[in-house]
């Protein structure tokens, strides 16, 4: 197994416990991006950021705190502490305990069935490439000459930036914008298109209004064309939607303009493994063009999420160790942006559904403000939007609001198990919970029929019969 991130570690742990002789090669930190530079530090930083605004929401409950004082060193300690708490699970010691041989070095194919790493040559029946992804650094004039941050450095930076300029309004850029703003940094986010472009614009609108209310300065439809050192630290020249150039100054620059699969310096050509700009070429069984080699996780060019990496690991294990022709299916990969409010999506958005199924699509909405639990918690901002066919087949669901990442799980299960909207409408959910939002949205599918003239006529007729 090459790469000890979410994908590689998962394969190695399962393979060793199933009795396969397993070698794991990792050149950097065990745990890869998710633990060290991705999901864990970003969600930990967001948790600190949300704690920082509690004093602002508490007065509505009749509770007041002193205004928050943010200790940047304390915030860093919190993030490190969370990483260190999870790290033993991904450690060399744990994996050696499971019977995995670990080589801490850079791995490279020498032959189609031989990998060399740290002076050792490993010949194996099966290889799993799980080398992950790295930040894309765009070719903007001047960028190479200024200091900038990426996800690999921002969580280790000393203190908190005075004014963070973020290039890129995808999930990483948007999460980092809210986290830093709520922790006291000034934040300016520049996005060529719109923030969270892939998501349902109606749901994104609610995230956008919260970012603005937090005090994030957003420049959408704005393209950075030149970057220089500035008086504060960095100075960007950008062209706005009106075609006019503007200058944006900040103390720090975070580049969050996307991720690219790590395919370089792996000896792929010597091993007969095809690859392109989207990563390693794989078939649905995640086999590369070298039949001994699987590619999984971010490097396989599909959706780049930890849950996808773990799912891929299961596919590779079944194919390699059990000779079971399991295939990857990315149609129901869920995604969550962990801002306040969270934004979660599974399956098609309304626009995707309309593009494919035309006007036969029905959209079911339910707002958080109609939910009693949301009211008791004062979390009334948000909504669910489910997209179904006229016969009640669920095509997708999006939720923006508190705990959206948890609430979406009903819809993931429903779509994966081909349940109809009726199954969600009929399930009994405890009162008062946010989960009732899903049930009420699903129930609204039946409202026109249930409360329409035909039903009224039937009820009146039955009453007359006695």
Ligand X SMILES: Cc1cc2nc3c(=O)[nH]c(=O)nc-3n(C[C@H](O)[C@H](O)[C@H](O)COP(=O)(O)OP(=O)(O)OC[C@H]3O[C@@H](n4cnc5c(N)ncnc54)[C@H](O)[C@@H]3O)c2cc1C
Summarize as ranges the residues that interact with ligand X (CB under 6 A). Answer: 2-8, 25-28, 32-34, 37-39, 42-43, 106-107, 130-133, 151, 172, 262, 266, 297-299, 304-307, 309
At its nearest, how many Å lie between ligand X and the CB of residue 229?
26
Taking the least distance from each CB to ligand X, the nearer of 392 and 398 is 398
At its nearest, how many Å lie between ligand X and the CB of residue 23?
11
Question: Taking the alpha carbons of 175, 178, 182, 186 in that order, is the dihedral positive or negative?
Answer: positive
CA dist., res. 69 & res. 52, Å (int): 8
At its nearest, how many Å lie between ligand X and the CB of residue 65?
29
Q: Note the maximum CA span of the chain.
A: 90
At its nearest, how many Å lie between ligand X and the CB of residue 388?
26
CA dist., res. 34 & res. 132, Å (int): 10
Taking the least distance from each CB to ligand X, the nearer of 38 and 169 is 38
298 burial (CB, 10 Å; 0-12 / 13-18 / 19+) is buried
At its nearest, how many Å lie between ligand X and the CB of residue 407?
16
Taking the least distance from each CB to ligand X, the nearer of 25 and 387 is 25
Taking the least distance from each CB to ligand X, the nearer of 43 and 318 is 43
At its nearest, how many Å lie between ligand X and the CB of residue 454?
46
Q: Is residue 263 a contact partner of residue 276, using CB atoms and an 8 Å limit? A: no
At its nearest, how many Å lie between ligand X and the CB of residue 55?
26
Helix, strand, or coil (residue 25): strand
Taking the least distance from each CB to ligand X, the nearer of 43 and 226 is 43
Taking the least distance from each CB to ligand X, the nearer of 151 and 290 is 151
Taking the least distance from each CB to ligand X, the nearer of 98 and 423 is 98
Q: Is residue 387 a contact partner of residue 397, using CB atoms and an 8 Å limit? A: yes
Helix (H) or strand (E) holding 227: strand 223-229
Cis, peptide link before residue 9, omega less than 30° from 0: no
Taking the least distance from each CB to ligand X, the nearer of 43 and 373 is 43
At its nearest, how many Å lie between ligand X and the CB of residue 354?
27
Neighbours of 141 (CB within 10 A): 12
At its nearest, how many Å lie between ligand X and the CB of residue 8?
5
Contacts of 104 (CB under 8 A, 6+ apart): 25, 26, 27, 92, 118
CA dist., res. 6 & res. 312, Å (int): 10
At its nearest, how many Å lie between ligand X and the CB of residue 175?
7
Taking the least distance from each CB to ligand X, the nearer of 7 and 386 is 7
415 burial (CB, 10 Å; 0-12 / 13-18 / 19+) is buried
CA dist., res. 462 & res. 77, Å (int): 69
CA 170, 172, 176: angle at the middle one, nearest 5?
A: 120
CA dist., res. 213 & res. 209, Å (int): 6
At its nearest, how many Å lie between ligand X and the CB of residue 148?
15
Taking the least distance from each CB to ligand X, the nearer of 160 and 266 is 266
Question: Taking the alpha carbons of 32, 38, 40, 41 in that order, is the dihedral positive or negative?
Answer: positive
**Which position has the token pair 């009693």?**
372
Whole-angstrom distance between the N-terminal and C-terminal Cα of the chain? 73
Alpha carbon distances (Å) from 392 to 303, 362, 446: 27, 9, 9
**Which position has the token pair 């300065």?**
217
CA dist., res. 21 & res. 12, Å (int): 9
Taking the least distance from each CB to ligand X, the nearer of 346 and 353 is 346
Q: Tell me 393's DSSP state.
A: B
At its nearest, how many Å lie between ligand X and the CB of residue 83?
13
Taking the least distance from each CB to ligand X, the nearer of 128 and 379 is 128
* DSSP-assigned states of every residue in 145-196: GS--B-TTTGGGSSS--SEEEEE--SHHHHHHHHHHHHTT-EEEEEESS-TT
């Amino acid at each position: 197994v090459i790469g000890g991130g979410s994908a590689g570690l998962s394969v190695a742990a399962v393979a060793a416990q199933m009795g396969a002789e397993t070698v794991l090669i990792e050149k950097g930190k065990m745990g890869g991006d998710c633990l060290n530079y991705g999901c864990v530090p970003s969600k930990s930083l967001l948790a600190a950021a949300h704690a920082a605004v509690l004093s602002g929401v508490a007065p509505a409950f009749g509770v007041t705190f002193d205004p928050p004082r943010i200790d940047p060193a304390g915030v860093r300690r919190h993030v490190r502490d969370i990483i260190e708490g999870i790290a033993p699970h991904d450690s060399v010691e744990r994996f050696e305990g499971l019977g995995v041989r670990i080589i801490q070095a850079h791995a490279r194919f020498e032959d189609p069935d031989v990998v060399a790493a740290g002076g050792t040559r490993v010949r194996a029946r099966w290889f799993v490439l799980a080398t992950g992804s790295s930040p894309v650094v765009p070719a903007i004039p001047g960028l190479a000459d200024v200091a900038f941050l990426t996800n690999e450095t921002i969580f280790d930076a000393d203190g908190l930036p005075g004014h963070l300029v973020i290039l890129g309004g995808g999930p990483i850029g948007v999460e980092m914008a809210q986290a830093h703003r709520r922790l006291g940094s000034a934040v300016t986010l520049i996005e060529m298109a719109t923030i969270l472009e892939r998501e349902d614009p109606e749901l994104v609108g609610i995230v956008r209004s919260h970012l603005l209310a937090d005090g994030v300065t957003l420049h959408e439809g704005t393209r950075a064309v030149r970057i220089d050192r500035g008086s504060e630290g960095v100075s960007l020249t950008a062209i706005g939607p009106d075609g006019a150039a503007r200058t944006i100054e900040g103390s720090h620059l975070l580049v969050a303009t996307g991720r690219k699969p790590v395919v370089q310096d792996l000896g792929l050509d010597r091993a007969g493994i095809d690859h392109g700009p989207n990563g390693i070429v794989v078939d649905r069984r995640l086999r590369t063009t070298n039949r001994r080699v699987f590619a999984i996780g971010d490097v396989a060019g599909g959706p780049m999420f930890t849950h996808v990496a773990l799912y891929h690991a299961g596919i590779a294990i079944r194919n390699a160790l059990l000779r079971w022709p399991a295939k990857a299916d990315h149609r129901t990969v869920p995604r969550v942006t962990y801002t306040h409010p969270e934004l979660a999506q599974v399956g098609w958005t309304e626009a995707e559904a309309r593009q494919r199924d035309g006007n036969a699509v029905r959209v079911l909405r339910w707002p958080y403000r109609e939910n009693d639990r949301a009211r008791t918690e004062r979390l009334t901002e948000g909504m669910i939007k489910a997209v179904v066919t006229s016969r009640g087949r669920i095509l997708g669901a999006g939720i923006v609001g508190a705990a959206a990442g948890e609430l979406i799980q009903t819809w993931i299960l429903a779509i994966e198990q081909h349940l109809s909207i009726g199954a969600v409408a009929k399930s009994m959910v405890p009162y008062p919970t946010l989960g009732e939002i899903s049930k009420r949205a699903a129930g609204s599918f039946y409202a026109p029929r249930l409360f329409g003239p035909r039903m009224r006529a039937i009820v009146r007729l039955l009453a007359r019969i006695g």
